[in-house]
């Protein structure tokens, strides 16, 4: 029942927020904030209550035997689909991240949303409920259901509460583009899931979408290759991987701040989670065969995202492209397949969720104060405001992987874990750390220092600094990133059992692939 509550609380909170919209804007906001606070408290309680169960069993290599909590009920018996939820350390880490950033997303929209607050918070909370469902579902048809639930509300958040950017794409264009790309991803995912279920039925005469059943599906090498490609492409669109990334900068540019926080911090992580939870365990041999291509593709994403970010003049688009670059490290780490690299992927997802979420919050604060995000108009902020610029500086440094912060730990584990199996990939990918310095300095130099530029000069002394509430949000995220950088062990302990199982399956397939290559 606890797992059901993790989904039910934001879903019911969204309905109540919508229903209370007729009472004014305050009621939906308070209901949404209370719902996410309750969800966050529940997920943190689960972490502490089941910490021992999550960290034990690290020696087990059974991918379906490490659920600390599990719920199963009949759903669609004729299709062999069940309402099957399971929580292990990997999913718990991401559920806590979801509820934390969801709580802050509600606070971000407190003053930004000026109309239809009830409907806004309904879409926001249903988006969050869908994300939590994705991280908990271990029936693949149920997983696809939640995959769609989290995407549709995001379309409305962009289309109804987004912002038209002068000289750029409209919010309707960005929303439609987001919807087309993500629905293409969903269609590929659905076809791949159905194909896997058909293959399983032909081999066992059992109709099932359950994780444990499909995990043991016997199939030929060619069938495994096609299914692995389908899952990979479905998640690659959502991650996104170049050249399937073009929807992301437009979506970020036009989305409200709350939408950007959810999009960067959570929705993109669902694709990486899908690769870890499904693509590698279901198709280890095919994944091992495509690993060299996938890792070099990740390197291309790292370099491309960093170079394009360096050329941006819109602060929000710059941050969006830095996200593309950082997620290239995730792709490299996943297909490196070593336990160290896979644990680094988990840390990177958490750290990037926090740092990118914070940067998008700060983009919203800059827009609210100066009426623009154009870096050419924002020079000289440091001389005008005592708190906002230092926060921008901190999270810009976090994004470049400054030692002592969570992003550094994730990237270091990924690169060191990758070096043992693909030294050339690790060396070239490390160039992304150098390029990250360049785009971080763009933010720091163009927006914070120098003489006051147009927008900063025009507002003069009338501009207000971060409020106490906004400063408290930023400081809390600063503390989390520092804690993750200095002591990442709680996240590593929570994730080690499922990651060890993924590594064991993938390693055996990789060894088999290498032996096949050298055999006459």
Stretch 178-205: mean pLDDT, rounded? Answer: 93
Residue 275 binned pLDDT confidence (cut-offs 50, 70, 90):
very high
pTM, two decimals, is: 0.92
- Secondary structure (H, E, C), 372-441: CCEHHHCCCHHHCCCCHHHHHHHHHHHHCCCCCCHHHHHHHHHHHHHHCCCHHHHHHHCHHHHHHHHHHH
Tally of CB atoms within 10 A around 365: 25
- Say what the pLDDT of residue 189 is: 95
Question: How much is the pLDDT for 517?
Answer: 40
Contact 150, 130 (CB under 8 A): yes
Helix axes 339-370, 489-518, angle to 10 degrees: 130
4-62 pLDDT, tens digit per residue, is: 999 999 999 999 999 998 888 889 999 999 999 999 999 999 998 877 666 654 444 45
What is the distance between the alpha carbons of residues 335 and 341, in angstroms, rounded to a whole number? 9
Residue 65 has pLDDT above 70, yes or no: no
**514: pLDDT strictly greater than 80:** no
- Summarize pLDDT for 229-250 with one digit per residue, the tens: 999 999 999 888 888 888 988 8
**Mean pLDDT within 312-319:** 88
Q: Would you state the pLDDT for residue 186? A: 92
Q: Is residue 313 within a helix (H) or strand (E), and if so which, with residue range?
A: none
* Interatomic CA distance for residues 90 and 212, integer angstroms: 17
SS3 for 108-124 is HHHHHCCCCHHHHHHHH
Residue 293: inside a domain: yes
pLDDT at 166: 66
The CA distances from residue 300 to 237, 276, 297, 340, 430, in Å, are 15, 20, 5, 22, 12
- Report the length, in residues, of the chain: 520
pLDDT at 463: 78
Distance in angstroms (rounded) separating the CA atoms of residues 486 and 241: 30
Please check whether residue 434 lies inside any domain of the structure: yes
In the block, which residue shows the tokens 């919508």? 18
CB-based contacts of 246: which residues, under 8 Å, 6+ apart?
A: 177, 181
Amino acid 59: pLDDT = 40
Name the residue range of residue 437's domain: 287-487
The Cα 230–Cα 223 span in angstroms is 11
Phi, psi at 199, each rounded to 5°: -60, -45
Residue 26 neighbours by CB distance under 10 Å = 11
Count CA atoms within 13 Å of residue 330 on its CB side: 28
Residue with token string 């990334």: 245
Whole-number pLDDT of residue 465: 85
Residue of 517 and 182 predicted with greater confidence: 182
Please determine, for residue 266, whether its predicted confidence score (pLDDT) is greater than 90: no
**Domain contains 419:** yes
Residue 386 lies in a domain: yes
Query: Could you tell me the pLDDT band of residue 184, with boundaries at 50, 70 and 90?
Result: very high
Residue 451 has pLDDT above 80, yes or no: no
Q: How far apart are CA 86 and CA 67, in angstroms?
A: 6
Query: Which of 84-93, 166-175, 432-441, 503-512 comes out lowest in average pLDDT?
Result: 503-512
Report if residue 130 sits inside a domain.
Answer: no
Angle at 275 between CA 273 and CA 281, to 5 degrees: 110
Give the pLDDT confidence score for residue 56 in this predicted structure. 58
Which of 285-289, 438-442, 443-447 has the largest mean confidence? 285-289
Q: Is residue 370 part of a domain?
A: yes
pLDDT band (50, 70, 90) for residue 395: very high
Q: Confidence band (pLDDT; 50, 70, 90) for 168? A: low
Question: What does the pLDDT read at residue 519?
Answer: 36
Provide the pLDDT for residue 516: 42
Number of independent structural domains in the chain: 1
- The percent of residues above 70 in pLDDT, for the chain, comes to 93
Residue 229 lies in a domain: no
Q: Return d(Cα 384, Cα 458) in angstroms, integer.
A: 12
Q: What percent of the chain has pLDDT over 90?
A: 55
Q: Indicate the pLDDT class of residue 371, thresholds 50, 70 and 90.
A: confident
376 is a domain residue: yes
User: What's residue 53's pLDDT?
Assistant: 67
Q: Mean per-residue pLDDT for 389-413?
A: 91
Residue by residue, DSSP assigns 195-226 as: HHHHHHHHHHS----BHHHHHT----HHHHHH
Distance CA 96, CA 103 (A): 11
| 196-226 pLDDT per residue, tens | 999 999 999 889 999 989 988 888 999 999 9
């Amino acid at each position: 029942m606890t797992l059901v509550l993790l989904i039910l609380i934001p879903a019911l909170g969204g309905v109540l927020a919508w229903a209370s919209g007729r009472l004014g804007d305050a009621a939906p906001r308070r209901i949404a904030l209370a719902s996410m606070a309750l969800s966050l408290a529940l997920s943190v309680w689960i972490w502490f209550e089941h910490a021992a169960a999550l960290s034990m069993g690290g020696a087990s290599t059974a991918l379906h035997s490490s659920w600390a909590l599990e719920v199963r009920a009949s759903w669609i018996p004729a299709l062999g689909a069940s309402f099957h939820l399971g929580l292990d350390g990997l999913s718990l880490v991401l559920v806590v991240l979801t509820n934390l950033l969801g709580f802050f997303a509600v606070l971000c929209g407190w003053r930004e949303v000026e109309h239809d607050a009830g409907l806004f918070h309904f879409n926001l909370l249903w988006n969050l409920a869908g994300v939590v469902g994705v991280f908990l579902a271990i029936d693949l048809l149920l997983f696809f259901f939640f995959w769609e639930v989290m995407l549709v509300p995001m379309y409305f958040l962009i289309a109804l509460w987004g912002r038209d950017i002068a000289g750029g794409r409209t919010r309707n264009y960005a929303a439609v583009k987001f919807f087309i790309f993500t629905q293409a991803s969903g269609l590929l995912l659905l076809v791949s899931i159905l194909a896997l279920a058909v293959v399983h039925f032909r081999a066992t005469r059992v109709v099932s979408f359950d994780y444990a059943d499909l995990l043991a599906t016997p199939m030929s090498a060619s069938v495994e290759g096609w299914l692995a490609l389908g899952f990979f492409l479905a998640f690659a669109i959502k991650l996104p991987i170049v050249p399937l990334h073009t929807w992301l900068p437009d979506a970020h540019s036009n989305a409200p701040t709350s939408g950007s926080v959810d999009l960067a911090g959570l929705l993109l992580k669902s694709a990486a989670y899908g690769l870890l939870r499904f693509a590698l365990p279901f198709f280890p041999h095919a994944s091992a065969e495509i690993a060299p291509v996938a890792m070099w593709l990740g390197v291309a994403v790292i370099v491309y995202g960093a170079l394009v970010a360096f050329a941006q003049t819109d602060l929000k688009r710059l941050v969006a492209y830095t996200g593309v670059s950082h997620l290239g490290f995730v792709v490299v780490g996943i297909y490196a397949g070593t336990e160290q690299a896979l644990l680094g992927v988990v840390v990177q997802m958490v750290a990037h969720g926090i740092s990118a979420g914070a940067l998008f919050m700060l983009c919203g604060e800059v827009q609210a104060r100066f009426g623009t995000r154009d870096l050419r108009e924002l020079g000289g902020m440091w001389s005008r405001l005592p708190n906002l610029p230092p926060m921008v500086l901190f999270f810009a440094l976090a994004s470049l992987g400054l030692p002592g912060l969570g992003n550094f730990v994730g990237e270091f584990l990924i690169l060191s874990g990758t070096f043992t199996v693909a030294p050339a990939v690790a060396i070239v990918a490390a160039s992304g750390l150098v390029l990250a310095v360049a785009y971080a300095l763009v933010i720091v130099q163009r927006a914070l220092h120098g003489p006051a530029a147009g927008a900063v000069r025009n507002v003069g002394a009338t501009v207000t600094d971060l409020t106490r509430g906004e400063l408290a949000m930023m400081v809390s995220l600063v503390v989390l990133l520092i804690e993750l950088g200095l002591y990442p062990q709680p996240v590593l302990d929570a994730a080690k059992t499922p990651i060890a199982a993924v590594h064991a399956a993938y390693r055996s397939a990789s060894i088999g692939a290498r032996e096949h290559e050298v055999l006459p």
